[in-house]
């Protein structure tokens, strides 16, 4: 049951408004079948010494992007889904430019969802991060 970007954004903002404070002012760019694309504009608070985007910023974006993809697929039924595990690999130095997270849901079951998140920065083709994430889905 695929949802529109506007519907998913409203559901996330309604049920998890603190995400915008914690993660930043992200925007949902696309909701393809079994996925999502989310953009995070980079601000000074996300930059670590040395001028690159911090690891925690990349981790948070990957996590919220998977959550958005799940709501895109299941709607309000996925609002109570929670991260049960997440592994991230930082692959190259992210320049201080907007981060883009492309999510693909690999498995969407009744109890668990598994997804991968690929992080890039605008103007840079190489991946800066790759995450795998498992979410525990709420009981029916």
Q: What global pTM score does this model have?
A: 0.95
Which structural domain range is residue 50 located in?
Answer: 5-136
Q: What is the mean pLDDT of residues 20-43?
A: 94
Measured distance between the N- and C-terminal CA atoms of the chain, rounded to whole angstroms? 15
Q: Which two tokens stand for residue 125?
A: 């083709």
Per DSSP, helices labelled H in the chain are: 5-15, 18-22, 55-74
Classified as helix, coil or strand, 94 is coil
Write the burial class of residue 134 (CB in 10 Å: 0-12 exposed, 13-18 middle, 19+ buried): middle
The CATH number given to whatever domain includes residue 91 is 3.10.129.10
Q: List the beta bridge partners of residue 99.
A: 40, 121
Pairing label, strands 35-40, 112-121: unpaired
pLDDT at 3: 76
Per DSSP, helices labelled H in 23-114 are: 55-74
Are 115 and 69 spatial neighbours (Cβ–Cβ below 8 Å)? Answer: yes
Number of structural domains the chain divides into? 1
Tens-place pLDDT, residues 48-81: 998 899 999 999 999 999 999 999 999 999 999 9
Classified as helix, coil or strand, 20 is helix
pLDDT at 1: 47
Tens-place pLDDT, residues 86-105: 999 999 989 899 999 999 99
């Amino acid at each position: 049951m695929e949802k529109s970007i506007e519907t998913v954004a409203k559901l996330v903002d309604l049920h998890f408004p603190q995400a915008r404070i914690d993660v930043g002012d992200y925007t949902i760019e696309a909701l393809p079948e079994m996925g999502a694309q989310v953009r995070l504009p980079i601000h000074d608070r996300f930059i670590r010494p040395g001028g690159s985007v911090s690891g925690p910023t990349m981790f948070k974006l990957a996590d919220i992007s998977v959550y958005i993809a799940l709501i895109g697929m299941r709607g309000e039924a996925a609002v109570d889904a929670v991260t049960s595990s997440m592994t991230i690999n930082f692959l190259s130095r992210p320049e201080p430019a907007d981060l883009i997270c492309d999510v693909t849901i690999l498995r969407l079951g009744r109890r668990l969802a598994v997804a991968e998140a690929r992080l890039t920065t605008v103007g840079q083709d190489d991946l800066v991060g790759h995450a795998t994430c498992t979410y525990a889905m709420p009981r029916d």
